[in-house]
């Protein structure tokens, strides 16, 4: 975790305009340190539209919704 923090800190220092999105295990590794260092997090690798509604809803309970990235895909999804 500390190594990832250092990496993000160095990236920000060297490239202040770069947007950083954190995704690890579908958002399962989000903490306050990551939220301080990234522009958004990825809540899940699932792109099914119906499942995504639930994922976004409950992730939004602990993470501000504007920081949660999300995409949806076709009806037939391979998640």
Question: Within a domain: residue 25?
Answer: yes
What pLDDT, on a 0 to 100 scale, did the predictor assign at position 13? 97
What's the mean pLDDT in 50-71?
Answer: 87
Question: Within a domain: residue 41?
Answer: yes
What pLDDT, on a 0 to 100 scale, did the predictor assign at position 16? 95
What's the mean pLDDT in 12-41?
Answer: 86
* 43 close to 27: Cβ distance less than 8 angstroms: yes
Question: Within a domain: residue 56?
Answer: yes
Question: Within a domain: residue 75?
Answer: no
In the predicted structure, residue 68 carries a pLDDT above the cut 70: yes
- Enclosing domain of residue 41: 2-69
Mean pLDDT of the chain: 85
What pLDDT, on a 0 to 100 scale, did the predictor assign at position 72? 73
Structural domain count, the chain: 1
What pLDDT, on a 0 to 100 scale, did the predictor assign at position 78? 60
How far apart (Å, rounded) are the C-alpha atoms in residues 15 and 4? 16
Q: Residue 40 forms beta bridges with which residues?
A: 21
């Amino acid at each position: 975790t500390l190594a990832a923090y250092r990496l993000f800190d160095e990236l920000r220092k060297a490239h202040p305009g770069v947007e950083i999105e954190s995704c690890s295990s579908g958002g399962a590794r989000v903490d306050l340190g990551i939220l301080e260092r990234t522009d958004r997090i990825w809540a899940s690798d699932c792109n099914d539209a119906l499942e995504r509604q639930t994922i976004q809803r409950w992730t939004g309970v602990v993470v501000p919704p504007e920081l949660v990235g999300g995409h949806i895909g076709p009806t037939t999804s391979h998640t």
